[in-house]
Each structure stands twice: as C-alpha cells, then as structure tokens.
Amino acid sequence: MIEVANLYKRYGNFVAVKDVSFKINEGEILGFLGPNGAGKSTTMNIITGYLSPTSGKVGVGGFDIIENPNEVKSRIGYLPEQPPLYMDMTVREYLYFIFDLKKINIPRTPHIEEICRLVKIDDVCDRLIKNLSKGYRQRVGIAQALVGNPAVLILDEPTVGLDPKQIIEIRNLIKQLGKTHTVILSSHILSEVQAVCERIIIINKGEIVADGTPEQLADNLSHKDITVRVIGDREEIASAINAVDGVKEISQIKSVEPGSLDFVVEPTDSADIRAELLNTLGKKGFQVLELWCKNMSLEEIYLSLVGEKNSDSENKSECYTDQSEPKCFVKSEENSEDACESDTQEEQ
Ligand code: ADP
Ligand code: MG
C-alpha cells in the first residue's frame, strides 16, 4: 500500500531524513517511533505530499507522490502534529468545508454524519471548535482525515497533550480505524505504539534503526546481558572476564550478597558466552556463586537504540575508572573513551 525507498531530506547541510526505506501492507497499523527531532514528521509530511523529498521515492497505492500527487493525496487522510482546525467554525461547518475542499463525489451530509458517529463527535457537531476540549478537537482532526474515505490514515503524534482518559479513547479509536484502514501513527512514546500497533519502525537521527513486530524487535535486538556473581578481587575478575572471547562490555552493579561482586556482561551480537565465562573464571580460581541472563525489555531496547541506554534504569550500573573513581571495564580499546559517557551524553 505504501512504499518508501531511499528517502532523503536535507535542510542545508543538515540531513533530517537519511536513506529511509520501508513498505507497508494494506491493513497494517504501523507505529513510527522515535525521540523528538528523529525525523518522523518530516517523513510523514513527505509521504503525504506536504514536503518534497531531497531524493528518494514514495508510492501510495501504486502511484508516485511526485508524478501523481493528486492520486496519492486522495488515498491519504492526514492528521498533522498541529491539527488544521478553524476555531470559529462549528464542527459541522468545518467538516463540510473540508469535504468541499477535497472535491469528493459522494453525498455530503450522510458521509459527514457517518464520520461523526464513528469518531463519536455527533453530540458536538453544532458547537464551535474553539469551545471543545483538546480530546474532542483531536477527534475532529481525525474526522477531517476520514473525509473522503481514504484507505490510508497518517496520524502524527495524535495523543500529544491529551489527558490519560482521552489518550485511551483516542488509542481505542485508532485501533478501531485500523480494522478498515492502513494506518501510520507516529509517537515518541513506546507504550503508545506497543498498545496500538502491530509493527514498529524505530527512527533515530533520521535513520531507521529497527523494523518489526514488537516480538521480533525483542527477539532480534535483545542481546542477553549476563549477570555473574563472583567472589574475588574486583580488578582481577574484571580482567578475566574481559579476556573471554565475545565480551563486548562489562560493568559492575551493586551486589546484594555480602562478600561477592556482581558484574553485568554484555556479549557481542548473539554470542553465547556463558560456558566460556564460567570456565575462564573457574580456571582462574574465582568462586562463581551465580550466573543468570536477563532479556532486555522492549523499553530497554528502544532506549539503547536511541542512545539513552540505562538512562533511567533502576538497576543502573556503576562504572569505575580505578578503585575509587567511576569507570567502565570495556573490552575493546576503541570503545573505552565513550563508554562511560554513553549513559549521559545523549540524554535529551
Ligand atoms: P520529529 O517529528 O521526529 O520530532 P522532525 O521531522 O520534525 O522530527 O524534525 C527532524 C529534524 O529536522 C529536527 O532536527 C528538526 O529540527 C529538523 N527540521 C525540521 N524542519 C526543518 C526545517 N524546515 N528547517 C531546518 N530543520 C528542520
Ligand atoms: Mg514530529
């Protein structure tokens, strides 16, 4: 239904969208997830034809956005980040106005009435938009996107600024619309896309960093951190662990068992280093009390992908530079400089 290929958007020297490619099948609800400034709105504005790409292609329903913009636009209902509402119109006047703008060849009154029922604004149809709550205004924004029965809905951060009850109502509405539409929903909140979407694309600094169902993301991207509880000298244990093949990074966390030390060991991609780790520590004469693995939650995966790893983790690891100062025990030389800073540097 939607095909985006090698999309770039440059503002002067700044690249807001870098080589973004994805396809969306009919009927999918796709969550476009990324922190503020990631390039979500820019990408959505390009798909809807509001912005032109610097390079790359966008096709909707088989039509190219540059060659057949009207065919593409007639297939898309768009709710921008700032809903384009006229405050001094009533809801009905506004939706009639949008209907007339879109030049649709179906009877107007029953179509608008049907939409108002669907998004549950039929009780406020004759009220001025400026007198509506933010939740109702957002529904009116979704209603204008539905005018003309487009097959695709593109909703840019549709729940921003709503209260928790309104958020749940709008999410449920989007889920319901997803049964009959192809939907792209952007958000900077993981739980939001998890609650609504079947598939998630994570975008960071203009680039796609992950694409899949929540389960696929958790399976594919979760490197299994290993925690090992050992008795012995801290520096010696650290250097023994670092000598194991497939260790990417280690850090020490607070141990709950007096006399022992807990180290969290991050393996390089998909390497299973448990046996080797046990062997090595055993051979060096350390007593290993326990060793366990913890799969990363989707939230931890998301934070690690967008550069805010462990930023608010309860189990935040302590890093030590020597006996007294903070430092990370890092396997590779080239990682050692930025390893300690990675926890804080990119928090926004
Ligand atoms: P998101 O919607 O994910 O928060 P945007 O797509 O709005 O991000 O913006 C992506 C990046 O592009 C941001 O760094 C933003 O400041 C920049 N940007 C957006 N529009 C313009 C513009 N017209 N000129 C220059 N930079 C822009
Ligand atoms: Mg945005």
- Ligand having the closest approach to the CA of 33: 1
Q: Report which ligand 1 atom has the smallest distance to the Cα of 81.
A: 2
- Integer Rg of the chain from CA: 25
How far is the C-alpha of 250 from the C-alpha of 274, rounded, in Å?
14
- Find out whether the beta carbon of 30 lies less than 6 Å from any atom of ligand 1: no
Q: How many other C-beta atoms lie within 10 A of the C-beta of residue 81?
A: 14
Digit-coded pLDDT (tens) for 111-161: 999 999 999 999 999 999 999 999 999 999 999 999 999 999 999 999 988
In the reported structure, the alpha carbon of residue 308 is separated from the centroid of ligand 1 by a whole-number distance in angstroms of 20
In the reported structure, the alpha carbon of residue 40 is separated from the centroid of ligand 1 by a whole-number distance in angstroms of 8
Q: What is the mean pLDDT of the chain?
A: 85
The pLDDT value given to residue 270: 66
| Of 309, 317, 319, the residue nearest 342 (C-alpha) | 309
Instruction: Label residue 68 by pLDDT band (50, 70, 90).
Output: very high
The pLDDT value given to residue 221: 65
The pLDDT value given to residue 293: 82
- Ligand having the closest approach to the CA of 10: 1
- Find out whether the beta carbon of 39 lies less than 6 Å from any atom of ligand 1: yes
Which residues, at least 6 apart from 293, have a Cβ–Cβ distance to it below 8 Å?
224, 225, 226, 227, 274
How far is the C-alpha of 31 from the C-alpha of 65, rounded, in Å?
21
Digit-coded pLDDT (tens) for 4-21: 999 999 999 999 999 999
- Ligand having the closest approach to the CA of 35: 1
How far is the C-alpha of 224 from the C-alpha of 272, rounded, in Å?
8
Average pLDDT estimate for 45-59: 95
Digit-coded pLDDT (tens) for 178-218: 999 999 999 998 888 988 999 999 999 999 999 999 888 87
Average pLDDT estimate for 66-91: 94
Task: List the structure tokens of 311.
Answer: 């930023």
- Find out whether the beta carbon of 36 lies less than 6 Å from any atom of ligand 1: yes
Higher pLDDT, 322 or 84: 84
For 114-118, the CB contacts below 8 A with 24+ separation are 115/143, 115/146, 115/147, 116/91, 116/92, 116/143, 118/146, 118/177
Number of H helices, E strands in the chain: 12, 17
The pLDDT value given to residue 225: 80
Q: Checking DSSP bridges between strand 320-321 and strand 247-253, what pairing results, if any?
A: unpaired
- Find out whether the beta carbon of 42 lies less than 6 Å from any atom of ligand 1: yes
Which residue among 41, 155, 160, 209 is best mutated to probe the pocket of ligand 1, counting the most ligand atoms within 8 A of its Cβ?
Answer: 41
- Find out whether the beta carbon of 61 lies less than 6 Å from any atom of ligand 1: no
What stretch of H or E contains 186? strand 182-187
| Of 224, 228, 221, 230, the residue nearest 248 (C-alpha) | 224
Is the pLDDT assigned to residue 335 strictly greater than 50? no
- Find out whether the beta carbon of 35 lies less than 6 Å from any atom of ligand 1: no
The pLDDT value given to residue 298: 80
Instruction: Label residue 30 by pLDDT band (50, 70, 90).
Output: very high
| Of 326, 330, 331, the residue nearest 344 (C-alpha) | 326
Helix (H, G, I), strand (E, B) or coil at 324: coil
The pLDDT value given to residue 294: 73
**Whole-model pTM?**
0.75
Helix (H, G, I), strand (E, B) or coil at 301: helix
